[in-house]
Amino acid sequence: MPAAPLPVRDGLNPTRLRLPNAQTWPTALAYLLDRFPDDAARLLEKVDAGEIVDQHGSPITRDTGYRPHGFVYLYRDPPVEKRVPFEIEILHRDENLLVVDKPHFLASTPRGAYVVESALVRLRRDLNLPELTPAHRLDRITAGVLVFTIRREARRAYQSLFDERRVTKEYEALARHDPTVQLPVTVRSRIIKERGVLQAREIPGPPNAESRIELIGTRDGIGRYRLLPHTGKTHQLRLHMSSLGLPILGDNFYPEFYDVAGDDYSTPLQLLARSIEFDDPFSGARRRFESRRALEA
């Protein structure tokens, strides 16, 4: 995808809209007003201020004709969000990489109700790093090591490490201890996640998800587990632990979903991305980053 003709602003990328093929609207503005009627006043303000542009960076005016297949770029007004009251700790920074220790309850990237209150937007703003991009992601309610690339030129090399499973990830979790569950064990199953459905699920078929689960220690009926995922399916570790009858403490998705208010921070999911290790694609050196956080039942 070509670079956007508008820069990152306030930590957020501009929105890219593709104009439909049908020649239904006389102007680009007419299409925008039809698509976003509730934002009519702000759209007119943005057009008059020259803040909406085409794919070449030329400002859209009130009279700019509608061009099927074309693109327009604009900044959407960020929502007003309550601040997630936990801070990001920086573990490492160099010319290519920013590695952080993400807290529970903070989204990795803008999504749904969490846009401004995401690790990506916070870090872009606080560190003035407009090209910052995640090399991978963690669930909002999972804490631990999260890797970002700083420069556009380095992005693909590090993202490929994760895409091609050349990264060793180690997680830690707390769950009840059941001495009848034989550990260590490697769990293999077929996991699917349907769009619009909150939970992932296991179905019959060839495995596409694999996790090794080890017991580190026990205390007062609670086990501390080392989780080593070989694949990275959505909610894989949470689902595999639940399938063993050992749902992770604080998990409101598995085995059964129950609703938790977005600002209820009383029961964090006891899952931590403990470490990440890989061979650096530029230097060839082995690199390892470890979380400094601790799980507490």
Catalytic residues, by residue number, are: 139
Of 103, 116, 34, 119, nearest to 75 by C-alpha is 116
Handedness of CA 256, 261, 263, 265 (dihedral sign): negative
208 contacts 236 by C-beta, under 8 angstroms: no
What SS3 class is residue 102? strand
Element (H, E) at 288: strand 286-290
d(CA 158, CA 155): 6
68 contacts 100 by C-beta, under 8 angstroms: no
Burial class (CB in 10 A: 0-12, 13-18, 19+), 283: exposed
Quote the distance between the C-alpha of residue 43 and its chain's center.
Answer: 29
Q: What amino acid is encoded at 28 in this protein?
A: A
